[in-house]
Amino acid sequence: MATQTKDWILECALTLFNEQGEPNTTTNAIATEADISPGNLYYHFHSKQDIVEALFDAYEQRLLDILVTPPDRAADLDDIWLLLHLSFELMGHYQFIYRDLTDLCTRYPKLHHRFMGIMRLAKQTATLMADDLVDSGIMVATKNERDAMVENILLISNFWLANDRIRSPKGTIDPARAVAQTIEILKPFLIPPARELLDSIGSRYH
Amino acid sequence: MATQTKDWILECALTLFNEQGEPNTTTNAIATEADISPGNLYYHFHSKQDIVEALFDAYEQRLLDILVTPPDRAADLDDIWLLLHLSFELMGHYQFIYRDLTDLCTRYPKLHHRFMGIMRLAKQTATLMADDLVDSGIMVATKNERDAMVENILLISNFWLANDRIRSPKGTIDPARAVAQTIEILKPFLIPPARELLDSIGSRYH
């Protein structure tokens, strides 16, 4: 029962954070949304920071699961598309984190530290996948080109949500479109048959 | 004299905004930094919003000058590198705008509207330049590929400062490195001699 209330509070907080931004959401507003008293909310979470951290915990856990799934073979284009798709959908679910990432990292140094850990893992996974594509002969790119590719993919991954929000503040987000846009970074390095394969993978997700 | 004081206030405000973020800077802090009374500051600017708008005016004016300089011939790689370099240096000078772009756009709808105007012009300029490269035979890319290229270049342009800030909160910003990173987007589409030329242009800016 206590766990149920706790989860319900987190769900309501996530809705408000995503809709109006975490800095603009008070714990009282969360209590109102959850239809519980501020005292009851305080029993479960002593501060807004506790709520933010609990949501970040859940996000981090799910993202790490996506990033560390050990491949039992060399990664192919399908794996890359799926990984980006799952990650971007998850980011959309927790979009308040990416709405003002700099601000969040400034106000919550502990989360900033953990975010940097996620980034290191993401970079490692992306680099391994790029290496696999080259080893499989479907991508032609030097080590420097792969490094630059990975940097740009990570940057776009972190900011596509903020970019969408600026271009269309009230619009619904579209992770599938963002994945397709991100994948353009590696596309020119693929050999022609692999480029065509990529287009056919993309059409499956739309 | 009045203009001098006004400019001095703007200079002090820009320093504080860049250092600690615009939302965390009060008009009183700006008056203290400028070594004038709050009353004197109020005589020149009635609110922080007035100061933010005056700084945005100056930024916008200088960026538009860079973006609309009419080329008397087809743009080449030198033009593109120089344009990115001048823009990114200017963005670095007014970095508070890009620190939390979503937040700034949400709190100042008028600036959001003008920012969208700048983006439209930037997209137009970038598209023309990509077309020029294809027409000159130094780039091979379909219309779709050029559109995706432009989208990704604009996204990286808007968020490289926020990305640098997250990776290294206390670090100095490095527009030259960010330009080199951004230019990687179009590099794979260049014919090999043009790629080499690009590398030699890049080394001139470091």
* Percent of chain A residues topping a pLDDT of 90: 79
CB atoms under 10 Å from CB of A168, counted, come to 11
Token couple for A89: 């959908």
- Residue that is written with structure tokens 């003002």 in the block: A100
Closest-approach residue (CA) in chain A for B163: A155
Give the amino acid at B25.
T
Quick one: A98 exposed, middle or buried, by C-beta within 10 A (0-12, 13-18, 19+)?
A: buried
Residue B205, pLDDT score: 75
User: Does A96 reach chain B within 8 Å, measured CB to CB?
Assistant: no
User: Does A128 reach chain B within 8 Å, measured CB to CB?
Assistant: no
Distance from CA of B85 to the nearest CA of A (A): 18
**Model confidence at B169, in pLDDT bands (50, 70, 90)?**
confident
User: Does B100 reach chain A within 8 Å, measured CB to CB?
Assistant: yes
Chain A interface test: which of B102, B168, B182, B203 (most A C-beta within 10 Å)? B102
User: Does B160 reach chain A within 8 Å, measured CB to CB?
Assistant: yes
Give the amino acid at A9.
I
B188 contacts on A by Cβ (under 8 Å)? 141, 145, 188-189
Residue B198, pLDDT score: 87
Q: Closest partner residue to B101 among A158, A162, A185, by Cβ? A: A162
pLDDT, average across residues A60-68: 93
- Contact criterion met (CB < 8 Å) for B162 and A102: yes
Higher pLDDT, A171 or B58: B58
- Residue that is written with structure tokens 């809709």 in the block: A19
pLDDT, average across residues A26-54: 96
The mean pLDDT value of chain A amounts to 93
User: Does B47 reach chain A within 8 Å, measured CB to CB?
Assistant: no
- Contact criterion met (CB < 8 Å) for A152 and B152: yes
Residue B156, pLDDT score: 97
Q: Closest partner residue to A162 among B159, B160, B187, by Cβ? A: B159
- Residue that is written with structure tokens 């305080």 in the block: A42
The one-character DSSP state at A191 is -
Residue A56, pLDDT score: 97
Count how many pairs of residues, chain A against chain B, have C-beta atoms within 8 Å: 95
Residue among B152, B132, B149 nearest B194 (CA): B132
- Three-state secondary structure along chain B? CHHHHHHHHHHHHHHHHHHHCCCCCCHHHHHHHHCCCHHHHHHHCCCHHHHHHHHHHHHHHHHHHHHHCCCCCCCCHHHHHHHHHHHHHHHHHCCHHHHCHHHHHHHCHHHHHHHHHHHHHHHHHHHHHHHHHHHCCCECCCHHHHHHHHHHHHHHHHHHHHHHHHHCCCCCCCHHHHHHHHHCCCHHHECHHHHHHHHHHHHHCC
pLDDT, average across residues A144-169: 94
Chain A interface test: which of B99, B100, B149 (most A C-beta within 10 Å)? B100
A151 contacts on B by Cβ (under 8 Å)? 181, 184
Closest-approach residue (CA) in chain B for A116: B167
**Model confidence at B1, in pLDDT bands (50, 70, 90)?**
low
B80 Cβ partners below 8 Å, 6+ apart?
B129, B133, B183, B186
**Model confidence at A205, in pLDDT bands (50, 70, 90)?**
confident
Residue A98, pLDDT score: 94
Query: What domains sit in chain B, N to C, each tagged with a CATH number?
Result: 1-46 (1.10.10.60), 49-204 (1.10.357.10)
**Model confidence at A138, in pLDDT bands (50, 70, 90)?**
very high
pLDDT, average across residues B127-137: 95
A148 contacts on B by Cβ (under 8 Å)? 181, 184
Residue A100, pLDDT score: 84
Residue B171, pLDDT score: 79
pLDDT score of B70 more than 70: no
Residue B17, pLDDT score: 96
- Contact criterion met (CB < 8 Å) for A162 and B102: yes
pLDDT score of A175 more than 70: yes
CB atoms under 10 Å from CB of A202, counted, come to 16
pLDDT, average across residues A197-202: 86
pLDDT, average across residues A160-187: 91
Q: Give whole-number Cα distances, A206 to A74, A159, A175, A177, B45, in Å.
A: 26, 21, 10, 8, 51
